[in-house]
Amino acid sequence: METKEHVPAMLEPIGQVLRRHPKVNLQLNRALAPFENSAKVLLFSCNMCGQCLLHENGYTCLMNCPKQVRNGPCGGVRMNGHCEVKPEMECIWLKAERRSRRFPGRYLFLRIHAPLDWRRKGSSAILNAVAGWPGNGKE
Amino acid sequence: MMPADPTRGRFERALRSGRPVVTCEIGSPDGADPADVRKRAKLVRDYVDAVNVPDNTGGVVHAAPLAACAILVQEGIDPILHMTCRDRNRMALQSDLLGAALLGIRNILCLTGDHMIHGDQPETKPVYDIDSVILLEVANHLTREGKYVSGREIDPPPDLFPGCAAEPFAPPYAYRPLRLKKKVEAGARFVQTQIVFNVERFAEYMGRVHDLGVDKQVPILAGVAPIRSVKAATFMRDEVPGMEVPDALVRRMAQAGDDKKKREAEGIAICVEIFEDLRKIPGIAGFHIMPINWESAVAKISREAHLQPALGSAKTSPDEGKAAVPQEPQPQAPSAPPASVPLNS
């Protein structure tokens, strides 16, 4: 049930520095989060959960799902492929499934995604991935 | 460690017997009278191996299924408790899983849960902290590791038997079998499917499931339900997402007319025909009847479709009766193999 981030090895030294200086990490996260998140909101209707799965799901933000299922789709998809809760919206999982085929991360789409860590909501997902995330008490 | 209770593990033993298993669902009551649960249970107990109690289906509040299942245990029936993530966060779910184990309930159907938007209180705050796949992982974690998700010890650990639902009738059709595989990887030990009305689509789905080898890993029970009226049929077709009722069936129900006896007979006839068709599909380990507040139909369906619970009827089981006589003086040993042995393989 642990979250595993896929971070390029070359970023590991930066992560080490950030973990050694949690205060800097926190400040940096606060500074970067608005930029990262507003860009993702504009491009992918991001919901700022702080533990991004965009790259695994064909750049579709699954947190738009009214049930916020991270391992969907649920059984409530209508015949026309729309959401049972919001009939005007296409099921985000249908979209993600379709789009994930076009990206190399398809195998990641098929894995079981860990549940949300609510403490990370609103923070910078990229920095969280590189540094582990501030305040989780594990580093 | 396992209490000497013949009810306990009955469902798992039935699945291991290799014979087709029959389960059925009873509605959770809308009243504070435990006799209501007993009455519903009495109507179905002789025809099934285990009884499901749903958790606030359709987002409408009913009595807690945990309580109803506890009454079923008292009645000597092995219950299957539906547990949804709609109303509870991961803490409440873990505490309910352990609470169920305390009450002698071990079969847990892990569901994400119908959204309350279709219920009578759509203004409720949805929880959906985790989803059904993670709930399966959690139930397995408690059982196998003997620890909460946090890592704290549980002593003794619960002996849960988690299962999941399968939905073959909603898009994306090609991805649905892969999601079932995900659920099995997360630890589902049995599968109950959505109600089958469109047998062709279901056969196609089972074909894909068979190709993935999932039907070898876990027993899959096909969901079946009797239609009571043309109104019910159109409602299920138009209003319930994820349920596919072919127009031909709706027309047949319309032709049966308004007479209660006639339309109910037609509904059961359709149901029996679906059983016949389902028996031809390979990979099905049994059936799950969902009478939707029409528990009295189960007896009739069971008779007309020649269904038999794998371990005989709940009350006077011929198999268990024979086995129990020589064992009587000893404490009853659990007949199920250790939990880690995969089923049917």
Stretches in chain A below the pLDDT threshold 50:
135-139
Scanning the structure block, which residue is given the tokens 């050694």?
A: A20
B171 — contact with chain A (CB < 8 Å)? yes
Supply the ipTM of this predicted assembly: 0.90
Report the predicted TM-score, pTM, of the whole model to 2 decimal places.
0.89
Written as one letter, the residue type at A95 is K
Q: What is the pLDDT of residues A76-90, one digit of tens each?
A: 999 999 999 999 999
Query: Is A76 within 8 Å of B244 when comparing Cβ atoms?
Result: no
Q: Which residue of B has its CA nearest to A78?
A: B241
CA distance B28 to B31: 9
- Please check whether residue B52 touches A, CB under 8 A: no
Find the CB nearest A67 among B112, B149, B182.
Answer: B112
What is the reported pLDDT for B312? Answer: 78
Residue B263: predicted pLDDT: 94
Q: Identify whether the C-beta of residue B166 lies closer than 8 Å to the C-beta of residue B196.
A: no
Residues facing residue A54 across a β-bridge: none
> Residue A105: its pLDDT value, please?
78
Length of chain B: 345
- Chain B CB contacts of A115 under 8 Å are 90, 129-131, 134
Scanning the structure block, which residue is given the tokens 């501030």? A134
Find the Cα–Cα–Cα–Cα dihedral B110, B114, B119, B123, rounded to 10°.
Answer: 100
Instruction: Give yes or no for B263 touching A (CB within 8 A).
Output: no
Rounded Cα–Cα distance for residues A97 and A69 (Å): 14
Count other Cβ atoms within 10 Å, centred on residue B28: 23
Q: Which of B89, B112, B129 is the best substitution to test chain A (most A C-beta atoms within 10 A)?
A: B112
Nearest to B180 by CA among A64, A114, A72: A72
B128·A69 Cβ contact <8 A: yes
Q: Is the model's pLDDT at B319 over the cut of 60? A: no
Query: Which pLDDT tens digit goes with each residue over B243-269?
Result: 999 999 999 999 998 899 999 999 999
Per-window interface: B 183-222 vs A, CB < 8 A:
185-186, 194
Give yes or no for a cis peptide into B156 (omega within 30° of 0).
yes
The pLDDT, as a whole number, for residue B221 is 97
> In chain A, which residues have their Cβ closer than 8 Å to the Cβ of B242?
75-77, 84
Task: Provide the mean pLDDT of chain B.
Answer: 89
Question: For position A7, what pLDDT does the model report?
Answer: 76
Rounded Cα–Cα distance for residues B333 and B335 (Å): 6
